Amino acid sequence: MGSERHVINVGGLDFSWDLEKGSFKFEGDDAVLFWISTAMKSFLDTIEEISGEEASNLVFETTGFRQGLVVGEYFEKMKELSVSQAADAITATYASAGWGKIIIKDLNFETKTLTVYMKDTWEYKINVAQEKTKGGNFFPAHFAGIFTGLFNTRIWYTITQQQMEGHDYTVVEYFPSDVSITKNIHELARRKESEQITMLENLVEEKTRELKELVKKLSSPVIPVLEGIVVVPLIGKYDMDRADELVINTLHNLPTYKASYLILDLTGLDKDMNEYSVSLIEKVASTSSLIGTKTILVGISPELSLAITKSGINLSQFDCFQSLQHGIHFSLAQMGRKLI
């Protein structure tokens, strides 16, 4: 059986079908047909769902421009046609292909400017089906690409009114510009990168605050071990903020526990003592004595004792013991008590 072929001519343009091969041609080139408010809507919805609204808008704009550029360059090569004639041929072609009603006005080859009126384009119909309140930018960018090709000059656009907003037409003005699709893509990429960096910086800042709060809680505990005796372990290396936090926290809690003896456990203190660690020991001892609490140092290793000696702290003002257990027994003895 021979192939079933059908050819029709609409407005001087050929449409042909080969049903055996399952092909459709528009002006001799392969083409396809889609239902606008269902299949094409689903296609664009999927792009927006995956890419997000901002990125998908740029995708549609970039695609529209690049497709238009191909059309414009094709007609520009047809030397027998003027720009005006090419514009008429383009609008007729798009009308016959179901792209909507396109009217080109105020075409000025000298200034390379024009105004395009668009009505009931397939993009508009999809936007209506999507229940959007603002029109898309595929068509505006598409004609920017067409006239970039025809004028051989970079053309961009401004949308002055939208059919989606209740007007009879979408009206777009075109003019020479240094705006480029590549530039827009790079700007979006930089913007997204900046947003990601800002988000990460905020996350780091938040986690840093949480970590600092945790360090404060862990690095300045006041531990009541027996009635009248509290232990404060010094851990790691101290800076000004951490040292002040420990002093304030200790002085705040000593009266609460009615502490007669404060045992500073230096077991976990960094052996490379800095000025803050040195002043911390002296400050805690002197301020504690003002509220009637005596300070005892425990957990002093041979290495730490050398470091303390070099630091210039006067150890004679402290009762010092090697272990926490010895310090607790001493404190109890001073209060006339002992562990049974």
Neighbours of 124 (CB within 10 A): 21
Residue 53's pLDDT is 83
Residue 1's pLDDT is 42
The tens digit of pLDDT for each residue in 39-55 reads 888 988 898 888 888 88
pLDDT band at 176 (very low <50, low <70, confident <90, very high): very high
Paired residues of 29 in beta bridges: 26
CB contact at 8 A, 114 and 106: yes
Measured distance CA(81)–CA(131) in Å, rounded:
40
CA–CA distance from 141 to each of 28, 58, 250, 271, 275 (Å)? 26, 10, 69, 69, 67
Measured distance CA(195)–CA(188) in Å, rounded:
10
The pTM of the full predicted model, rounded to 2 decimals, is: 0.57
Crossing angle of the two packed helices 53-76 and 41-51, in degrees rounded to 10: 130
CA–CA distance from 200 to each of 67, 207, 208 (Å)? 37, 10, 12
The tens digit of pLDDT for each residue in 267-322 reads 888 777 777 777 888 888 888 888 999 999 998 888 777 777 777 777 777 888 88
Residue found by looking up tokens 């047909």 in the block = 33
Residue 16's pLDDT is 92
Paired residues of 262 in beta bridges: 230, 295
Neighbours of 1 (CB within 10 A): 4
CATH number of 220-334: 3.30.750.24
Within the chain, all domains assigned CATH 3.30.750.24 are found at 220-334
The tens digit of pLDDT for each residue in 68-121 reads 989 888 887 776 778 888 888 888 888 888 999 999 999 998 999 999 999 999
Residue 268's pLDDT is 84
Within the chain, all domains assigned CATH 3.30.1380.20 are found at 35-179
CB contact at 8 A, 222 and 253: yes
Topology classification of domain 35-179: Muramoyl-pentapeptide Carboxypeptidase; domain 2 (3.30.1380)
